Amino acid sequence: GFSTAKAVTSVSGRGVGMDVVKTNIETIGGVVDIATELGKGTTFTIKIPLTLAIVSALIVKAGEQRYAVPQIAVLELVRVDPKDENKSTNSIERIHGAPVLRLRERLLPIVTLDGLMRGQAIAEESEIVESGFVVVAQVGRQRFGVLVDEVFHTEEIVVKPMSSKLRHIPLFAGNTILGDGAVVLIVDPNGVAKLVGQSAQSGAATEAETEEVEAGDAKATLLVFKGG
């Protein structure tokens, strides 16, 4: 009923246009986020899921299943191995029971696909493998890592929509058929980011506390590297 329009008719100035946008985005599985700051303005963020299209994806393996991760959300791959005596690879740490990866002095929350399927944003101790790869992904300003057992290759895949019985699962955006005939699920980075949002926020708070404590004891800043 509230409108800032100077002239109001039966179809204009009543906010109907914005409601149409919101309804259509939600129909295809998208999300509209609104962030308002007093005296500064409002930011509208529209997140639209993957539709029937050809995208470049990274094929990974977690447990006994293979998955496809859209490469547009992948920043880098990091190898983890806690048994590396030379410390040439990264290792997964735990802060207050939550697994994190310290990547260039920045803490990233770690999730597993098996754990997310069970609705767990924080991976359990038994789910953390001894060695593997962390797919570092970023959605908006949120950055997190997905722990996988193997990384195969990148491939151009055709995104097929999920069945109507499975569309309520926000973790996946669709499925595809690989060259060997295997059907794999396509991970939706927006859905993963939404599920681990609370875990990522707690990890960011822990990161700030850790840096504040370490800054008091620091004598110098060193760059450690390996040549050859």
Mean pLDDT across the stretch 189-199? 75
Confidence of residue 39 (pLDDT cuts 50, 70, 90): very high
More confident residue, 26 or 38: 38
Report the 10 Å Cβ neighbour count for 68: 26
Q: How many residues does the chain have?
A: 228
Q: Give pLDDT, residue 205.
A: 46
Give the integer Cα–Cα distance in Å for 137 and 146: 8
Give the CA count within 13 Å in the CB-facing half-sphere of 123.
23
What mean pLDDT value characterizes the chain?
Answer: 76
Report the 10 Å Cβ neighbour count for 10: 7
Mean pLDDT across the stretch 134-146? 86
Of 65, 177, 60, the C-alpha closest to 117 is 65
Confidence of residue 84 (pLDDT cuts 50, 70, 90): low
What sign results for the dihedral spanned by CA atoms 29, 30, 35, 41? negative
Q: Give pLDDT, residue 208.
A: 46
Confidence of residue 37 (pLDDT cuts 50, 70, 90): very high
Q: CB–CB of 136/76 below 8 Å?
A: yes
Of 210, 220, 195, the C-alpha closest to 144 is 195
What are the distances in angstroms from CA 204 to CA 7, 75, 99, 121? Answer: 47, 18, 13, 15
